[in-house]
Structure 1
Amino acid sequence: MRVAVIGAGVIGCATALELAKRGAEVVLLERAVPGSEASSAAAGMLGAGAEIDEDDPEQIERLVRARDAYGPWIEELRGETGIDVGYRVSGILIVMTGDPVERERLTRIVALQRARGQRAELIDGVQARSIEPELSADVGACAYFPDDSQVDPPALLRALVASLAKKRNVSLRSGAVVERMLLEGGRCTGVALAAPPAAGQSNVVQADATVLAAGSWSSLLPGIEKELAPVRPARGQVVQLEERPPRLATPIVRGPAYAIPRGDGRVYCGSTVEFVGYRREITAGAVRDILDGTIRTIPSLAEASLSSTWMGFRPHAERPLVGRSSIPGLFWATGHYRSGIVLAKITADDIAQSIFASS
């Protein structure tokens, strides 16, 4: 079986790797370089509590399954490539603000987690500071998810690309801009590329199955607008601080703000959610708001150095689009919004299973 995967972010790379492990011949197509968009900009929280947008039992079960799949997957990648991807079971603390709606939502999420045998707690400020002493004295009630974890997305991407490079049945083509899907008799049979092909390559990629994993660019492909639910870019800006020596140990979420310590002094602070199209600016207002929120919650970070800023486009959809499309031979793996990293492994598994089941 030959499969074309459009997009070499973490979702696309993980899917290509899983397909290759199951024996498929995979052509991985990337318009720029692997992971240059949302995957490189992500914070890397693997949260069955922190990543939840609503108290939906189905969403909770999916995120728990996704988080728990990471441990064995990371061991496999490390054994194959030797790359440390920064995977740690660090727990995550969510600081409850004064918003009663948010407090009620988090209370329900904790109850749903506990009803499913997951460790989740509502704790007061004193208990929270015993877990993370760097928290501000004004922090009150928190939701604590001790089994949530984290990964360093750029390192994860390096490991995925290194693993793919070892597979003889995988071809990675960078600079491959997909112009259109190939449709024959109502079935997707591959893609046509816009750019002139490199020497010895065709601008037509024939495939038994095609996976759309193009993130925020998914809805730009012509010919499938009526089949694909809208996916639009949500810009997220991030600030990286550096502590010397490292002090913060636990990822902290407070409203839209978060601080994710990497254990080596780096702290990822973010993030905005901006529907501004494909504008790539880093804005002064966003940096100010991120730092204000972070330092209010973790005062010691006021002494950290500001080492870098960046942004990325999250693919926003009403729900992650994963599985078969209405066009035979075409599969979706997009629209993961803020959960692309945590859902990467189970998305890859689900897509591979769907493709082989349909063959």
Structure 2
Amino acid sequence: MHIAVIGAGAVGLATARELAVRGNRVTVIEASRPGAGTTGTTFAWVNSHGKEPQSYFELNLAGLRAHHELDAALGGGPRWFRPTGNLEWATAPEHAEALRTRAARLRERGYAVREPTPAQARELEPGARIPDGAGAVAFFPAEGHVLTGEFLARMLTDALACGAVLRCPARVAEVAPRPGGVRLLLEDGSAVQADAAVTAAGRWTEALTATAGHPVPMAGPEAPGSAAVGHLGYTAPAPVRLERVLTTGRLNVRPDGGGRLVLQGLDLDADADPAAAPAPRVAEALRERLAEVLVGGAFAEVAEVRVGRRALPADGLTVCGFADPDARLYTIATHSGITLAPALARWAAEEILDGTERPELAGFRPGRFRGGRPDVHLTQARLPGRQ
């Protein structure tokens, strides 16, 4: 079977690899370069604990488990998945109460949660500046983070080794599904004919699927302050000891390899504007907060602040399934792309190749938008560190 995959981010390359290792002919079409879209500006925290409703929690839990399984199955070489857990603490009373409530709810769901004392948490993460008076502390040991460059490299090289072809840069202008196949018209005038196509185009999903007559509405990724827009800070190598994701009321931070860190202060996102350079105050605020959170943070240099644009479906929940009645156009769009990539890739391959309908995806089909664009409050992009 010949399958075209549109988009070479985390989801697209994971799907291409899954299809290729199963012996299919795969063509990946990428408009810019691998990882240039959403994957290039993501905090890359693999977790399920802040995800609601229950069905979305379970979907992300399956994604978390899939990372553990894939990491164990492939082994060897640079490891993209760092399952070192997530340590969260709260000093503000409202945040502390929410953290305790969330930990109790997750424990009831069977999610791995520990509630160490501040002293025990500092033993776990010696560089963390956790005050003795912290109102609540929780450790989620099954969670982790992904080094996105390492992940993309493994997915791409595996796919190419199995015969996949990468066309890059090449932009798809139109998708035309029809009985028996799908035709992709590229902006350079060439075309790709395949038995099926997978759109893994992130924030470009709506425009792309609209050309096929089956639009999947996405939250606007261009509007300043949108839930789909946010800042990420990247440090130069810094004298900071950090093993895992840390989430606090003012800063989320994780290692990024080579002594570098990725920083996120969600309250700073209100002014994030994709059309403008980030204000210098954002970098300064992130550095100041890092000094508050980690020993050595005062000596870190925030080398770059990027404005990321999240791939956020209009109702905040993942989209995964066939968009057309002839089952030729398979669409994946999700804010949880890093967490879900291995699981969605496997399920998509099963549904495309075998016609198997995965029950996990029952509430996440593209068909739910056929009645028009929903008018709901988007929350999924704002959950980490803000509960």
Band the TM-score falls in, shorter-chain normalisation: 0.7 to 0.9
Indicate the residue corresponding to 1:14 in structure 2: 14
Aligned counterparts, 1:126-275, within 5 A: 126-138=119-131, 139-168=134-163, 170-184=164-178, 189-196=182-189, 203-221=190-208, 222-224=210-212, 227-233=215-221, 234-242=228-236, 245-255=239-249, 257-262=251-256, 264-272=258-266, 273=269
- Verify: 1:98 aligned to 2:95, yes or no: no
Larger displacement relative to structure 2 (176-185 or 5-14):
176-185
* Pair 271,25 (structure 1): closer, same or farther in 2 beyond 3 Å: farther
Aligned counterparts, 1:65-84, within 5 A: 65-79=62-76, 82=77, 84=78
Give yes or no for contact 2:86–2:140 (8 Å, CA) kept in 1: yes
Q: 5+ residue gaps in structure 1?
A: 197-202
Aligned counterparts, 1:291-330, within 5 A: 291-298=287-294, 300-317=296-313, 318-328=316-326, 329-330=328-329
1:41 shift after superposition: 2.4
Cα deviation 1:324-344 (Å, max 9, x = unaligned): 22442111111x22x211111
Give yes or no for contact 1:46–1:67 (8 Å, CA) kept in 2: yes
Indicate the residue corresponding to 1:115 in structure 2: 108
Q: 5+ residue gaps in structure 2?
A: 222-227, 357-387
Alpha-carbon distance in structure 2 between the residues aligned to 1:126 and 1:211: 49
Alpha-carbon distance in structure 1 between the residues aligned to 2:232 and 2:254: 11
Give yes or no for contact 2:235–2:262 (8 Å, CA) kept in 1: yes
Indicate the residue corresponding to 2:331 in structure 1: 332
Give yes or no for contact 2:239–2:300 (8 Å, CA) kept in 1: no
Q: Percent identity?
A: 26
1:263 shift after superposition: 6.0
Give yes or no for contact 2:238–2:299 (8 Å, CA) kept in 1: no
* Pair 104,205 (structure 1): closer, same or farther in 2 beyond 3 Å: farther
TM-score normalised by the chain length of structure 1: 0.85
1:256 shift after superposition: 6.2
1:115 shift after superposition: 2.5
What letter corresponds to residue 233 of structure 2 in structure 1?
V
TM-score normalised by the chain length of structure 2: 0.79
| SS of corresponding position for 1:232 | coil
Indicate the residue corresponding to 1:200 in structure 2: none
**Aligned match of 1:64 in 42, 56, 61?**
61
What letter corresponds to residue 223 of structure 1 in structure 2?
T
**More strand by proportion, 1 or 2?**
1
Aligned alpha-carbon RMSD (Å): 2.7
